[in-house]
Amino acid sequence: DFDWLKQARFYWRPSASDDVSSDGATVVSVTDVDFNYQYEYLGAKERLVITPLTDKCYITLAQALGMYFGGAPAGPAGTGKTETTKDLGNTLGIFVVVTNCTDQMKYTDCAKIFKGLCQGGLWGCFDEFNRITLPVLSVVAQQVLAIQNAKKQGVELFQFPGDPQNISLQPVCAFFITMNPGYAGRQELPENLKALFRGVAMMVPDFQIIKKVKMCSVGYKDFDLLSAKFFSLYATCKEQLSNQRHYDWGLRNILSVLRTMGTTKRENETTNEALLVYRTVRDMNLSKLVAQDVQLFLSLLADLFPDESSPPKGHYPKEEAILKNVVKRHQLMYHDSWVLKVKQFYETTKVRHGIMLVGPSGGGKSCIFKCLKETLQESDGIQYKDVRFNPKSIRSQEMYGETDPMSGEWTTGIFAAIWAKYNSRNNAFNTWIIADGPVDAIWIEDLNTVLDDNKILTLA
């Protein structure tokens, strides 16, 4: 029965052997492809919710690996391309190294990564692979072909293109590329590279299933009804609210709201669940709405939760008392609508590590930073520092770093130097890195892996 075969099935085969011992092996089967479990310790990771889309992706990737090909999930942002690849690695007990590709990448950089993955027996996931320039892609195709041929032949050592030494090969290593076709600066993959990867079209997943399972897993008893309300609220918001550039009703926003719902539930175990969902969804979305949409959003919430009166806003008496003194010290006005924004910013800092303050010049954005920073400094007793730079006043290469084309030397960029200096656990202070300038795809895309759940800065 195919419904059974398409699942990831774990078997113990006493007569088989693997890398760990010769008397028995744990085998994971997906359709007709068998994988030996790799026993890599990955920690207690959060797992993906299985939807029809993840099933389809698992099957296609497993078939590709069975035929010694790579996998190439392609689709719009927020459909889970990288996360599904990482989750499949999790299922098989293998570590997945995620690399955020840029147009700065040279074929020598790719060669180093490929050789490391082959020798370590790891999976490599190359995010935004079609940002790499065309001349480099055609050389990469030769490198991947050499590795795939060596895997098919079952050899332990093989000749890597352009390397005089033989490279050892662990047969479990595999390569995946993810692509986001609809953006500027994207290449069409050359035919010789396309032939080495099996494509998976990733569409928008079923949010209803994800919300239902996640709410159940964080402890909500009435998850069926509440997830349906949450789903219809976001669907209505997408259709009825104004179309602002910074609005996001997609998967990333949903997951951060669900995580906060879990924290709220654990802190208020006896409180009415509908009230907790109402409060969390309202508090996490109200801060980003423009004035014309606020009333409509609140009335949608009131329609969905007719039995609940609007829960009180978050109350922080200690912080508010300190904020009053800070505002007085800077000779500013303690203005209610501005104070609300400071509170919303504070609430966002507790659940997100990448935050964008949007508004016209003179709207009080820098004052929000300054006043909240001083307030938290007094209330937490920890020094807060802010580091500012303007990303549009420098080239993208100056921001992250570049390799000298003649000598091959690496020059560290401004952001990379700031990141290395302030991202140390030994620092006795907290740091906010502020990119003070307009946002565009050229510089913000290189922060993809920093701002998502990987939290890794990938330089060229």
8 A C-beta contact, residue 214 and residue 258: yes
Which two structure tokens, joined as six digits, stand for 250? Answer: 């997609």
Count CA atoms within 13 Å of residue 25 on its CB side.
16
Residue type, 122: L
The tokens 């293109």 sit on which residue? Answer: 161
Partners of 401 in beta bridges = 412
8 A C-beta contact, residue 380 and residue 318: no
pLDDT at 372: 94
Question: How does the average pLDDT of the chain come out, rounded?
Answer: 90
8 A C-beta contact, residue 29 and residue 4: no
Residue type, 273: E
According to the 3-state scheme, what is the secondary structure of 154-178? CCCEEECCCCCCEEECCCCCEEEEC
Count CA atoms within 13 Å of residue 93 on its CB side.
12
Whether 186 has a pLDDT exceeding 80, the answer reads no
**Dist CA 189 CA 208 (whole Å):** 34
8 A C-beta contact, residue 396 and residue 443: yes
**How would DSSP label each residue in 131-158?**
GS-HHHHHHHHHHHHHHHHHHHHT-SEE
The tokens 């074929």 sit on which residue? Answer: 107
**Dist CA 103 CA 422 (whole Å):** 27
pLDDT at 453: 76
Could you read off the pLDDT of 240-267 as tens digits, one per residue? 999 988 888 888 889 889 989 999 899 8
The continuous run of DSSP H or E covering 424 comes out as none
**Dist CA 225 CA 53 (whole Å):** 23
Question: Which percentage of the chain shows pLDDT scores above 70?
Answer: 99
The tokens 């993208």 sit on which residue? Answer: 396
Which two structure tokens, joined as six digits, stand for 454? Answer: 């990987």
The tokens 């895309």 sit on which residue? Answer: 445
**Dist CA 6 CA 1 (whole Å):** 9
pLDDT at 118: 95
**Dist CA 118 CA 96 (whole Å):** 13
pLDDT at 350: 84
Helix (H, G, I), strand (E, B) or coil at 24: coil
pLDDT at 396: 86
**Dist CA 325 CA 323 (whole Å):** 5
8 A C-beta contact, residue 369 and residue 432: yes
Q: What are phi and psi of 157, to 5 degrees?
A: -125, 145
Helix axis angle, 251-267 relative to 273-286, nearest 10°?
130
Q: What angle do CA 263, 267, 271 make, to 5 degrees?
A: 110
Could you read off the pLDDT of 433-456 as tens digits, one per residue? 999 988 887 788 788 778 887 788
Work out the pLDDT band at 183, boundaries 50, 70, 90.
Answer: low
- List Cβ neighbours of 408 (8 Å cut-off, separation of 6 or more): none
Helix (H, G, I), strand (E, B) or coil at 109: helix
pLDDT at 97: 92
pLDDT at 460: 63
pLDDT at 185: 61
The tokens 């800077």 sit on which residue? Answer: 330
Whether 387 has a pLDDT exceeding 90, the answer reads yes
Whether 285 has a pLDDT exceeding 80, the answer reads yes
pLDDT at 441: 79
pLDDT at 175: 95
Whether 314 has a pLDDT exceeding 80, the answer reads no
8 A C-beta contact, residue 27 and residue 13: yes
Work out the pLDDT band at 307, boundaries 50, 70, 90.
Answer: confident
Rounded-to-10 torsion of CA 79, 196, 38, 170? -150
CA dist 13 to 17, 36, 37, 227, 460, Å? 8, 10, 11, 41, 43
Indicate the length of the chain as a whole number.
460
As a whole number of Å, the CA-based R_g of the chain is 25
**Dist CA 445 CA 175 (whole Å):** 22
Helix (H, G, I), strand (E, B) or coil at 9: strand
Flag the least confident range among 18-22, 106-110, 133-137. 18-22
Could you read off the pLDDT of 116-133 as tens digits, one per residue? 999 999 999 998 888 888
pTM score: 0.83
**Dist CA 38 CA 62 (whole Å):** 15
Question: Which percentage of the chain shows pLDDT scores above 90?
Answer: 58
pLDDT at 1: 84
- List Cβ neighbours of 138 (8 Å cut-off, separation of 6 or more): 190, 192, 193
pLDDT at 295: 93
- List Cβ neighbours of 80 (8 Å cut-off, separation of 6 or more): 48, 53, 54, 202, 205, 251
Flag the least confident range among 16-20, 39-43, 352-356. 16-20
Which two structure tokens, joined as six digits, stand for 441? Answer: 């795809």
